[in-house]
Amino acid sequence: MGEVDPAFIQDPDHRPKLSITEVEGIPLIDLSPISSPDSATDPKLVEEIVREIGNACQEWGFFQVINHGVVLDKLRKIETAARKFFALPLEEKRKIRRDEKSVLGYYDSERTKNVRDWKEVFDFTVEEPTLVPASPEPEDKEETEWYNQWPDYPPEFREVCEEYAQEVEKLALKLMGLIALSLGLPEDRFSNYFKDQTSSIRLNHYPACPSPQLALGVGHHKDGGALTVLAQDDVGGLEVRRKTDGAWIRVKPTPNAYIINVGDSIQGYGELGEGTIFYSFLNPSHYTLIKPLEELANEQNPAKYKPYSWGKFITNRKLSNFKKLNVENIQIHHFRVSE
């Protein structure tokens, strides 16, 4: 069990009891019954958490968690380091700008070209190096390695980022276990898919915009990986599209909470406010073939998507940022089975 920072305990008379509420209709789930080292885990409380997570995944595709076990100090340190980095002169940040050969690092191409996408970004992977296909071409069997680029300043930036990545990775894998249980599967059913993970973290910074009425920040999109663990500051701005009726719901920032996106189950939209949002993407190994689980797909519940290579998918998405590829810019919907 992970250590729970006292700052995450919102009730001073905290007991290991389940607390599930909704913030503006968005499920908010208290993970303290499975995160606290000070109390025995009550199987009934675990079952309730599993049920609520299953409902949230089915009805919404996302939820928020509190008392999640991520040490608050790690989040505060990366927030401070990110502010220092993004405050650097543009020419200094561009020393580690991403390109076709180094797909990780800093970029601000959106905000320099189009005010509607006004933001700065820094990307790094959890595992270094991260092994991926050399190209998205179906017949190409070669592999390559992605390496992170780190700035000289602030000097603590790399260490802080790597420590934070370890904390969020533990949370994401814990949640995958709970999702497996909600599907009636063993808790470790998905573990092997992340043995050589391609998980990454993105720091999104939104500077003050001269034309805020035109800015979107992050446009309408879906996340293709397994889970996205999102931390937003008190500026907020995230909106999600509810699965049941297609309505856009603003996600009100909850202190010390994480927003969990189930891959390709939500559509995100961010209105611009000056601040920073951290996205942690839990992604499987590049050799993973994404397809329905044998235990769940049958004649009564047929597969809705054709199998596809995760490595080819993510490589296509990365390289398409820098050049026009011979293969189509892949989206998840391209693999949907026609009804």
Residue 285 covered by a domain? yes
Are 197 and 108 within 8 A, CB to CB? no
Q: At 292, phi and psi to the nearest 5? A: -60, 145
Residue 296 covered by a domain? yes
Structural domain total, the chain: 1
Residue 67 covered by a domain? no
In this structure, is the dihedral angle defined by the CA atoms of residues 101, 106, 110 and 116, taken in order, positive or negative?
Answer: positive
Residue 17 covered by a domain? no
Host domain of residue 135: 72-160+179-251+264-335
Question: Residue 236: which CATH number?
Answer: 2.60.120.330
Joined together, the tokens standing for residue 284 give 């499987």
Q: How many CA atoms lie within 13 A of 153 on its CB side?
A: 10
Residue 111 covered by a domain? yes
Q: What is the pLDDT of residue 85?
A: 97
The one-letter amino acid code at 268 reads G
Residue 52 covered by a domain? no
What spatial distance separates the first Cα and last Cα of the chain, rounded to whole Å?
44
Q: What is the pLDDT of residue 261?
A: 87
The one-letter amino acid code at 189 reads R
How many angstroms separate the CA atoms of 220 and 108, rounded? 18
Q: What is the pLDDT of residue 15?
A: 35
Q: What is the pLDDT of residue 274?
A: 60
In tens, the pLDDT along 58-86 reads 888 889 999 999 998 999 999 999 999 99
The structure's pTM equals 0.83
How many angstroms separate the CA atoms of 78 and 65, rounded? 19
DSSP H helices, the chain, are 32-35, 43-59, 72-86, 90-93, 109-113, 157-182, 310-319
Torsion region of 336: left, alpha or beta (phi above 0 gives left; psi -120 to 50 gives alpha): beta
Residue 25 covered by a domain? no
Q: What is the pLDDT of residue 155?
A: 97
Q: What is the pLDDT of residue 278?
A: 85
Residue 138 covered by a domain? yes
Q: Which ranges of the chain have pLDDT less than 50?
A: 1-23, 112, 213-221, 265-273
